[in-house]
Amino acid sequence: MPGIRAAKTMYVAMYGELVPHPGAGPPAEASPDAYNLFEARSAAMGWLATHATDGGLWGMNDAQALPDSGLRPARIAFFQVVLTGQAPVTLLPVQAFLSCAGDVVARLGVPRLEAIQVLLPERDGEAEGRVASPSGMRAAGLLLDAADWFASCNPRLRAPVRVTLDAGPDASVRNAAAGIAGWLQAIEQEVFGCDSVSLAEEDHLILERTALHGGPPETVQHRVTFRGTLAEWSLDALGWLAAFLADACTRHGVSTQLMLTADRSAPAG
């Protein structure tokens, strides 16, 4: 309907191992604990939208801590929210979202994070002139200001990472891959140093073969994989990187939703 904007969903799944705190058993299947804790933490930080408030970055959708399925890497928890559109100047609140998810998982046990998968919702069509637009410059400024937080990270914590962006049937991310990589390398920041970009299928990180946009499983998935070095292997740094990559994609004409998958990885070659 005219004037009605579709709800935008953001999702994160965490993979690895969740060691229960001493004296606690493993999380039960379909346990409500993750949902209740995420809702409480979101509210405590002022990020939860409720009927009683006008603000908030997201509304609750679903959350669950999962028992060990025996698969490797195991999915230990997932969280899903609906964005309210209250985030500043088109900047996706991925860092806050992953921070909240990390706080919840830490309450449930000791996580050993091996990989994450984040659904980044589609962005509004601002690609043309995005770099020069006031909203685009402010979004980049907010990200680079936040990058200063990582400036004092211990250099020994720097970690090689592999990041795959899956756009489903939309080929725009592959067409823009070289431009995105060049932009990442040109921006002066020390959170993520991009070393290479690849379109080769064997280089992509695929944890779950989920068809995006509701397409059939056989739909071609257009993927791009970046390798580089992250300031630290943490949900905080990964959240910043996800927002940074989403902004980079928008600047290069990619407005579709993206599934970002990341793990620690040896450098290519």
pLDDT tens for 25-62 read: 555 544 458 999 999 999 999 999 876 556 789 999 99
CB 96 within 8 A of CB 61: no
What's the pLDDT score for residue 43?
93
What's the pLDDT score for residue 179?
96
Q: What span, in angstroms and rounded, lies between the C-alpha atoms of 203 and 224?
A: 9
Q: Which of 172-176, 203-207, 213-217 has the highest mean pLDDT?
A: 172-176
Q: What span, in angstroms and rounded, lies between the C-alpha atoms of 222 and 164?
A: 10
Kindly state the average pLDDT of the residues 69-77.
80
Q: Does the structure show a pLDDT above 80 at 199? A: yes
Can 1-121 and 127-269 be said to share one CATH topology? yes
What does the block give as tokens for 237? Answer: 């740094």
Q: Does the structure show a pLDDT above 50 at 128? A: no
What's the pLDDT score for residue 159?
96
Q: Does the structure show a pLDDT above 90 at 72? A: no
Q: What is the pLDDT of residues 223-255, one digit of tens each?
A: 999 999 999 999 999 999 999 999 999 989 999
pLDDT band at 190 (very low <50, low <70, confident <90, very high): confident
What's the pLDDT score for residue 30?
42
CATH of 127-269, one of 3.30.70, 3.40.1130, 1.20.120, 1.20.1070: 3.30.70
What does the block give as tokens for 17? Answer: 């191992």
Q: What span, in angstroms and rounded, lies between the C-alpha atoms of 60 and 52?
A: 14
Q: Which fold has domain 1-121?
A: Alpha-Beta Plaits (3.30.70)
The dihedral of CA 67, 75, 230, 148: what is its sign?
negative
Q: What span, in angstroms and rounded, lies between the C-alpha atoms of 136 and 187?
A: 14
What's the pLDDT score for residue 132?
47
What's the pLDDT score for residue 200?
95
- Rounded to the nearest integer, the mean pLDDT of the chain is 83
> Residue 66: phi, psi to the nearest 5?
-110, 145
Q: What is the pLDDT of residues 3-15, one digit of tens each?
A: 335 578 999 999 9
Per-domain boundaries in the chain: 1-121, 127-269
**From edge to edge, which strands make up the β-sheet containing 258-264?**
58-65, 74-83, 8-20, 109-120, 258-264, 159-166, 223-230, 192-198
Kindly state the average pLDDT of the residues 88-100.
84
Question: For 48-62, 89-103, 162-176, 224-238, which range has the lowest pLDDT when averaged over its residues?
Answer: 48-62
